[in-house]
Amino acid sequence: MSILVVGSVAFDSVETPFGKVEEVLGGSATYFSTSASFFTDVRLVAVVGEDFPPEHLNFLRSRNIDLAGLQVSAGATFRWQGRYGFDLNEAHTLDTRLNVLESFRPELPEGYEEAEYVFLANIDPELQLDVLKKVRRPRLIACDTMNFWIEGKREALLKTLRNVDIFLLNEGEARQLAAEPNLIKAARIILAMGPRTVVIKRGEYGVLMVTEHAIFSAPAYPLESVFDPTGAGDTFAGGFMGYLAATRDEGDAAVRKAIVFGSVMASFTVEDFSLERLRTLSYPQIEERYRKFKLLTEFEGIEEV
Amino acid sequence: MSILVVGSVAFDSVETPFGKVEEVLGGSATYFSTSASFFTDVRLVAVVGEDFPPEHLNFLRSRNIDLAGLQVSAGATFRWQGRYGFDLNEAHTLDTRLNVLESFRPELPEGYEEAEYVFLANIDPELQLDVLKKVRRPRLIACDTMNFWIEGKREALLKTLRNVDIFLLNEGEARQLAAEPNLIKAARIILAMGPRTVVIKRGEYGVLMVTEHAIFSAPAYPLESVFDPTGAGDTFAGGFMGYLAATRDEGDAAVRKAIVFGSVMASFTVEDFSLERLRTLSYPQIEERYRKFKLLTEFEGIEEV
């Protein structure tokens, strides 16, 4: 089952304590699509400028991502520049150039309005609403956001949330949106805004899922070398939605497994800059890390080593 | 099987965003002993001043804690004053008065040197070494420490670590001791210092256990109201060691369950100031929260709600 994703495609320039890259492939929709493509078909709705090179398009096509909804506009592709210190949990934005993203209006190619799975990656909530108006009757809608929209476009964001099944956001954003320091209380406040599931991303500390009836906590996969956390959240979302779409199951048990697959995917992305690690990743490697993830969290019924 | 613990007994004055208490019962050995007493017998080695009231002694006795090793010295009991902001993960120490702790030399009452389980709570590593010299042949030794000793008594601490099986410390301390920002690498560096198991406490993010062959990650139990995190780490250690001593099993599977029981105990402590919540706690409540902890972390073989 295919997923429709709307979000950004970007050139990222990133510096971490372990190295530096300039103008590499990035963007929320790029990470999401590539990650989800290991599980299901993806339809990408986004915009790039005329400077976007064919090799990046070829890479996305090689992952079976449908690019009919990728607009090419006059101007330059969106650029983001950021830096991470040793505390890799926090990105320091050095520069953001919206470029063609500034006048972007998502348009759905024919057939896209029948999408059953929709992911609204982190873009202006008014554009997220635009897309929601255009899709006919999705089976599952998930969305992401960021502090910038929580502050600047709260009303539009709240409108989006009323129509969303699963809301993914990070810990600080959850506290900010709910104006509540306790994370569980914050999650309950956000549930009352519309979503039936809130998935709170905590970087190196993993993920917390809260619904009316259940709480699920998954750690991040422990890594000895994290190179670049850029795109980890969108890669997580791609694995998460990809698994749900592939299984066509939205029950509590499926959502928990989807969170683990999302965490597994994110753990690969951070092992290298840009989407480098995902380019060489194979499904058996994903399955192997899923099994290790199980060993990481089990405390009953395990065998003695 | 009984546990010998050496550590501090204190009067704490604590302020959190949710309230304030003055001169309440506290101290690493107090929290540890009370928590462990739900699983096994405890022998407490510590010092108090002449100002220590009989009601506190009676409480500890009511928990079946053996106080033969609790010295009463001329002078005042150790006092700690601290404050927490909304980020309850970090204590800001306002005042520390060692008082009788300053000249404390642990002495073991007859029979204590045969202890099979030893916990060296957070005190001067030279005193920890003192105790290690006095016990004959323990089955399991665990210890805790703090940044103050890592900075000021590194050599003594390293000597202690060479003789310890399980080392419990918090995340920042692990990075500091190993001089390594990546936590898994830091844990491996610490393993090379002697312990065969490193248990890294991450406050509201739970616990990470690292051995040569395994990594286990447990979340903190999610709570809607955390009143006071004081003593959470020592309460964790008490549940952890208490479970290991009660089962007489130190295998990987037992250590994982012990971590969950420790986390469960800590989750009760933080629900109220001082040891208030532990005073009314019952073993069935511990078992119930252990079962909920299982639901919190499971992602395979769970039933649909």
- Using an 8 Å Cβ cutoff, are B198 and B171 in contact? no
CB < 8 Å to A181, chain B: 17, 86-87
How far apart CA A232 and CA A230 sit, in angstroms, is 6
Interval B260-273 mean pLDDT: 97
Interval A86-107 mean pLDDT: 91
How far apart CA B291 and CA B169 sit, in angstroms, is 26
- B22: its two tokens: 């003055």
Query: Coil, strand, or helix at residue B96?
Result: strand
ipTM of the complex: 0.92
- Count Cα neighbours of A295 within 13 Å in the Cβ-side half-sphere: 15
pLDDT of residue A77: 98
Interval A157-165 mean pLDDT: 97
Tens of pLDDT, residue by residue over B206-235, are 999 999 999 999 999 999 989 999 999 999
**A169 domain residue, yes or no:** yes
Cβ B253–A202 below 8 Å, yes or no? no
Neighbours of A2 (CB within 10 A): 19
pLDDT of residue A286: 98
**B305 domain residue, yes or no:** no
- Provide the mean pLDDT of chain A: 95
Report percent pLDDT > 70 for chain B: 99
Cβ B217–A214 below 8 Å, yes or no? no
**A85 domain residue, yes or no:** no
**A96 domain residue, yes or no:** no
pLDDT of residue A305: 46
For B11, the domain range is: 3-297
Tens of pLDDT, residue by residue over A280-297, are 999 999 999 999 999 999
Top residue of B217, B249, B257 to mutate, by most chain A CBs within 10 Å, is: B217
Tens of pLDDT, residue by residue over B159-180, are 999 999 999 999 999 999 999 9
pLDDT of residue A277: 97
Confidence at B240, pLDDT banded by 50, 70, 90: very high
Distant-in-sequence, close-in-space partners of A98: CB < 8 Å, separation ≥ 6: A78
Interval A89-103 mean pLDDT: 91
Cβ B205–A205 below 8 Å, yes or no? yes
B167 CA to chain A: closest CA distance, Å? 19
Top residue of A199, A244, A299 to mutate, by most chain B CBs within 10 Å, is: A299
- A18: its two tokens: 């372990």
- Using an 8 Å Cβ cutoff, are B129 and B6 in contact? no
Number of domains comprising chain B: 1
Interval B36-41 mean pLDDT: 98
Cβ B222–A218 below 8 Å, yes or no? no
Cβ B86–A215 below 8 Å, yes or no? no
Q: What is the pTM of this model?
A: 0.94
- Provide the mean pLDDT of chain B: 95
What are the backbone dihedrals phi and psi of residue B284, each rounded to the nearest 5 degrees, phi first?
-60, -35
**B98 domain residue, yes or no:** yes
What are the backbone dihedrals phi and psi of residue A220, each rounded to the nearest 5 degrees, phi first?
-80, 150
How far apart CA A43 and CA A60 sit, in angstroms, is 11
> Which H or E run contains A295?
helix A283-297
pLDDT of residue A304: 54
**A75 domain residue, yes or no:** no
What are the backbone dihedrals phi and psi of residue B300, each rounded to the nearest 5 degrees, phi first?
-135, 145
More confident residue, A301 or A56: A56
Interval B31-55 mean pLDDT: 98
pLDDT of residue B303: 59
Cβ B182–A216 below 8 Å, yes or no? no
pLDDT of residue A116: 96
A251: nearest CA partner in chain B: B304
State yes or no: pLDDT of B100 exceeds 90. Answer: yes
Residues B173-188 as b/e (b if ≥16 CB within 10 A, e otherwise) read bbbebbebebbbebbb
Interval A141-165 mean pLDDT: 96
State yes or no: pLDDT of B250 exceeds 50. Answer: yes
Confidence at A109, pLDDT banded by 50, 70, 90: very high
**B302 domain residue, yes or no:** no
pLDDT of residue B305: 46
Instruction: Say whether residue A270 is in contact with chain B using an 8 A CB cutoff.
Output: no
DSSP string, B249-300: --SHHHHHHHHHHHHHHHHHHTTSSTTHHHHH--HHHHHHHHHHHHHHH--S
Instruction: Say whether residue B244 is in contact with chain A using an 8 A CB cutoff.
Output: no
pLDDT of residue B301: 75
**A102 domain residue, yes or no:** no
How far apart CA A42 and CA A62 sit, in angstroms, is 12
Of A206, A215, A296, Cβ closest to residue B222 = A215
State yes or no: pLDDT of B304 exceeds 60. Answer: no
The CATH number covering residue A262 comes to: 3.40.1190.20
